[in-house]
Copies of this chain bind each other. A is one copy, B any other.
Amino acid sequence: MTDAATGREPRQERSRATRHRLLEAALECLADVGWSASTVGRVAALAGVSRGAVQHHFPTREALFTAAVRHINGRRTEELTRRAAALPHGPGRTEAVVRMLVESYTGREFAAAVQLWAAAANDPALRAHVLPLEEDVGREAHRNALDLLGADESQPGVRESVQATLDLARGLGLADLLTDDRVRRTRIIEQWARTLDGVLART
């Protein structure tokens, strides 16, 4: 929002916009060049802000990139919620939900997250930032999937089948990193939705 009297954005708004630009730039950077080449300087240049401004928002490189992945996860959740309104009810819903979930693990956002995961496996400082992030992301994805599927996890096998759906989605996302795996993925989604319908209906 621009302050009508001065023609300038209020400081808080400007700060929020800078932060947002930094997060988006960090995400682009991670997806494009991986963790080791994703320096704070590179992100600052990409976002068009000074290194000092980056440090004002994020004290460390680890904090910057972890915040970026948290940011895109929040955006993904919003996107899923928005698209959920258009999903069919009754037959076909499970397949539509599984497709939507699986597709949310492909693309540049997922590619960036994989770079962060892979780097955290060998970097204790980064890992300390990524672990709580992963826990939050996992919990949110699980709750989301339960809601979308209308699944009752007090029934035997349901909790595990919903978690398996998300692990399958992550595996399919990994397969899609290097090649366009869409055709194979579509067949797997269709079959898994049929199977999952069986598990959910049995309960």
Contacts and interface: CB of A to CB of B under 8 A. Distances in A.
A188 B168 CA distance: 11
Contacts of A195: 157, 161, 195, 198-199
Interface in A10-42: 32-37
A164 B178 contact: no
Contacts of A111: 121
Given A174-B117, A175-B167, A177-B121, A160 B36 contact: no
Contacts of A160: 187-188, 190-192
Chain B CB within 10 Å, residue with most, of A32, A35, A127, A163: A163
Contacts of A33: 122
Contacts of A169: 171
Contacts of A190: 160
A130 interface: yes
Interface in A144-186: 157, 159-161, 163-164, 166-175, 177-179, 184
Interface of A: 32-37, 111, 114-115, 117-122, 127, 130-131, 134, 157, 159-161, 163-164, 166-175, 177-179, 184, 187-188, 190-192, 194-195, 198-199
